[in-house]
């Protein structure tokens, strides 16, 4: 699915609507350049899951940040997924949390 929004408010509303329409989905893959709105989308997901928006920061330099019940990965700087990254991702997926 490819969607274009005009501003942060629309991006967050889209995240909330997608979560509402697909409540059983546990994995959301977002692709875009720096500043495209990926973290803004995750803030919308987080808010829809009951998190405070201020809790959600981009994990660009830390790679992964956990916000119960959400795990936010930032794979932007990775050229490829190594075995350790895949193992960590599989462990998180096994928890049933949204990634």
pLDDT tens across 47-86, in order?
998 998 888 887 666 777 787 788 887 777 777 667 667 7
Q: What share of the chain is helix, strand, coil (3-state, %, to 5)?
A: 40, 10, 50
pTM: 0.76
Tell me how crowded residue 6 is: count the other CB atoms within 10 A of its CB: 7
Q: Is the dihedral of CA 4, 5, 8, 14 positive or negative?
A: negative
Beta strands in the chain (DSSP E): 64-67, 70-73
Q: Which two tokens stand for residue 36?
A: 């495209």
Domain boundaries, the chain: 8-94
Taking only the tens place, the pLDDT of each residue in 5-59 is 999 999 999 999 999 998 888 788 888 888 889 889 999 999 998 998 888 887 6
């Amino acid at each position: 699915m490819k969607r274009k929004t005009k501003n942060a408010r629309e991006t967050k509303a889209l995240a909330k609507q997608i979560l509402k329409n697909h409540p059983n989905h546990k994995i959301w893959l977002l692709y875009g350049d720096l500043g495209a709105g990926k973290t803004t989308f995750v803030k919308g997901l987080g808010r829809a899951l009951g998190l405070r928006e201020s809790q959600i920061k981009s994990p660009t330099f830390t790679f992964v940040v956990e916000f119960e019940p959400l795990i936010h990965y930032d794979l932007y700087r990775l050229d490829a997924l190594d075995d350790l990254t895949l193992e960590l991702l599989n462990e998180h997926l096994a928890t049933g949390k949204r990634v």
